[in-house]
Each structure stands twice: as structure tokens, then as C-alpha cells.
Amino acid sequence: MAIRGIIFDFDGLILDTETPDLTVLTEQYRDHGATLLVERWALGLGTHGTFHPYQELEQLIGRPVDEAALQQARRARYLRIVEGQALQPGVTEVLALAEARGLARAIASSSDRAWVTGWTQRHGIHGRFQAIRTRDDVARVKPAPDLFLAAAAALGLPPAECLVLEDSPNGMRAAHAAGMACVAVPIPALAAAELPPHTLRLGSLAQLPADALLAEVERRLASG
């Protein structure tokens, strides 16, 4: 079946807002004599409210921490880093291909709408998507399929005709549950990680020319 729409995740896929969070939290853990395990941190990727870093830090060190102060410092340093980030490699090329071929385009993110629209506007790509669905629009975020199904409905497409681009395991699980093809593009911290079911795995959206990426996905779908 031909792909007629592309649904982009946002955090980590369009803009790497995830690696900076790992960097800052790792520093904070180290300052308290603890080690943040990437696999624990990754539980919170692509979803919301599943990983509580300061509760985990307290358990590791056996004493309470000033969560409010740590959160304030984390947020300030995190935003400074994210503000310097460029769009992820290959994003604009995939968008251009989709536009040239008349493919529908959406974002489906477990973040809130203000976060997603703020960054897409800042980077000048907001108007290139016909729909944006965030946790403000659904009862359940990823790994539930609701966000991807809502995005497909907004595009007027059946799930089987949509291709999801995702970096997080929770997002890949959501795409699978929604019955959609999925290109997995994990961030560097998860480059060697075992991932949930996906159609194609890339180190970057720029690893293949956009037309070759789409052709390979459709080839794999056709071959079953």
C-alpha cells in the first residue's frame, strides 16, 4: 500500500530536545554522587509522567534533595541548550519531498501544544504541517496509539496509509499499536538499544535521500 501521509514525532525527531535533558540530568546526578542510567531515563521518552528523576535520585543517594531548586536549575540550563539546537538532519528534506508529492503531513507529540508550536514557529516550519496533535488533544499519550490515530484522522487518512517517523521506543510502540509503518530514528544515546517493532531503522533521517527512504519503506510494506 502506498504511503499518503507522514506523521512526525517532535521531541528528538524534529528537534533534539532529549539529549540536552539527558546531559543536564546526568550532571545533576553526578553532583550528588549518583549515576543516571540511560535505560531508566529513556522510560520517559515519548510519553509523559512515567519517569521522576528526583525521586529516583533520592532513592539512589538515600536522602532528600531540593527538588524545586534542582528543577529550576535544570530547566534554565536545558532551555539554553535547546535554543541553540538546529532541526535534526533530514527533517527539511523529508518535508520537502512530502510537499512535492502531495503527501499529508502532521506532528503527533506527547508534549503539550504550546511547546510544539513554539518551537515549530521558531524554526519556521509550523505552516508546513496540516495537523498537530499533542497531549492536549487525547486522553492517553504514547505508547497508546491515540496520538497517531488522531493525527491520521485529522489528515483524513486510514492508519495503514500513514508513515510514522519516531525516535523513542514509546513512540514506536504507539505506531505499531496504531497499525502504521514506522521509521525508527533513535537519538545517539539509544543508538545501540534494542527497539520495539519498526519498519526501518536509521541513524538519521539524512542517512538516506528522502525519496529513497520512502521507497524503501514502501518496498518493505509490499514484501510483507
Three-state DSSP class for residue 162: strand
How far is residue 11's CA from residue 42's CA, in Å, rounded to a whole number?
A: 13
137 counts as catalytic: no
Paired residues of 107 in beta bridges: 8, 132
Asked whether the beta carbons of 8 and 106 are under 8 A apart, the reply is yes
Asked whether the beta carbons of 214 and 3 are under 8 A apart, the reply is yes
Place of cell 514557529: 121
Asked whether the beta carbons of 33 and 62 are under 8 A apart, the reply is no
Q: Kind of pairing, strands 200-201 and 181-184?
A: parallel
| CA 100 to centroid of chain Cα atoms | 24
16 counts as catalytic: no
Q: Which of 11, 16, 21, 137 is catalytic?
A: 11
Three-state DSSP class for residue 27: helix
Residues assigned a catalytic role: 9, 11
